């Protein structure tokens, strides 16, 4: 498991999509939009919004393509003739991707904190780290399920965009939804990406009640994603 973990970690660190989606774009967008608006409330919104966006795009979109590529190369079939169970392989690669994503998210947070002069404490960082971990693992498990539905890169691109764009646009990552109709607010309540945002913001602001609610919702999302991933992997094993 350690070998697979280390190899996955090195491969993820060299991934150009990681550099763009989880580091350059979030930090660049955060600094530009935060400077244009220029108030502390929006600085918090855009910092946490860009952290969550980086997590979503890499842990879901990029990993869907990576998993499709692995399946094409016959990685899962090769595992059948090795002593390593498929479950250990999944844990190893998921752990490596999660670690890389948490490092990227913390980098965005620290840059935003320094640039916008946010009040950041150690306990807040720990709380936000827990939210990042739950969100990242949930989307990584979901990517296992989605990658099993797709056969080509074109299908993967369409399906991933159909999932990520509504999640992103149907949240208050970059703009307030206070003036939206009641039915929109109802939809937002079932958006797991919104709860990732809520958890990051409540962790940063020290709102323990909202943070705990976000932890519970994201844990439920992780459980659902794990169930779907297991179903998909059973098909692969058979």
pLDDT of amino acid 1 = 66
For residues 51 and 132, is the Cβ–Cβ distance under 8 A? yes
* pLDDT of residue 68 exceeding 90: no
- Asked if 18 contacts 12 with a C-beta cutoff of 8 angstroms, the reply is yes
Residue 25 tokens, joined: 């774009």
pLDDT digits (tens, 9 = 90+) for 121-134: 999 999 999 999 99
Beta-strand runs (E) in the chain: none
Mean per-residue pLDDT over the chain, rounded:
89
**pLDDT higher than 80, residue 118:** yes
Nearest-angstrom CA–CA distance, 34 and 194: 20
DSSP string, 128-183: HHHHHHHHHHHHHHHHHHHHHH--SHHHHHHHHHHHHHHHHHTSSSSS--TTS-HH
Range 174-188 average pLDDT: 88
Q: How far is CA 66 from CA 69, 94, 127, in A?
A: 5, 12, 29
pLDDT at 163 over 80: yes
Packing angle, helices 2-13 and 86-116, rounded to 10:
40
User: What does the pLDDT look like over 48-60, one tens digit per residue?
Assistant: 999 999 999 989 9
Q: Which helix (H) or strand (E) holds 65?
A: helix 63-72
Confidence of residue 18 (pLDDT cuts 50, 70, 90): low
> What is the rounded distance in angstroms from the CA atom of residue 9 to the CA atom of residue 237?
24
Give the Cα separation of 6 and 17 in Å (integer). 19
Q: Which of 3-12, 50-59, 87-96, 119-128 has the lowest mean pLDDT?
A: 3-12
pLDDT at 220: 97
Look at residues 27, 24, 22, 32 and name the one whose alpha carbon lies nearest to residue 53. Answer: 22
More confident residue, 7 or 104: 104
Task: Compute the residue count for the chain.
Answer: 238
Query: What is the spatial distance between Cα 198 and Cα 52, in angstroms, rounded to a whole number?
Result: 10
Q: How many CB atoms lie within 10 A of CB 227?
A: 12
Compute the distance between CA of residue 57 and CA of residue 102 in angstroms, rounded to an integer.
13
Give the three-state DSSP class for 233: helix
Contacts 24+ apart (CB under 8 A), 33-41: 33/174, 34/112, 34/115, 34/116, 40/116, 40/118
């Amino acid at each position: 498991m350690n070998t697979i973990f280390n190899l996955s970690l090195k491969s993820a660190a060299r991934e150009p999509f990681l550099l763009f989606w989880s580091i350059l774009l979030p930090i660049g967008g955060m600094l530009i939009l935060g400077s244009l608006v220029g108030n502390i409330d929006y600085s918090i919104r855009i910092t946490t919004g860009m952290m969550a966006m980086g997590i979503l795009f890499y842990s879901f979109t990029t990993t869907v393509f990576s998993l499709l590529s692995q399946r094409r190369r016959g990685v899962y079939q090769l595992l059948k003739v090795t002593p390593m169970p498929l479950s250990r392989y999944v844990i190893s690669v998921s752990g490596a991707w999660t670690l890389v994503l948490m490092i990227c998210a913390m980098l965005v947070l620290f840059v935003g904190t320094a640039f916008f002069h946010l009040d950041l404490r150690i306990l807040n960082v720990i709380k936000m780290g827990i939210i990042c971990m739950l969100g990242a693992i949930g989307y990584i498990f979901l990517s296992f399920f989605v990658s099993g539905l797709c056969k080509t890169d074109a299908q993967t691109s369409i399906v991933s965009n159909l999932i990520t764009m509504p999640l992103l646009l149907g949240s208050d990552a970059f703009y307030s939804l206070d003036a939206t109709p009641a039915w929109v607010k109802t939809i937002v309540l079932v958006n797991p990406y919104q709860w990732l945002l809520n958890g990051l913001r409540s962790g940063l602001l020290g709102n323990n009640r909202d943070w705990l609610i976000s932890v519970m919702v994201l844990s439920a999302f992780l459980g659902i994603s794990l169930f779907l991933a297991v179903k998909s992997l059973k098909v692969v094993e058979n």
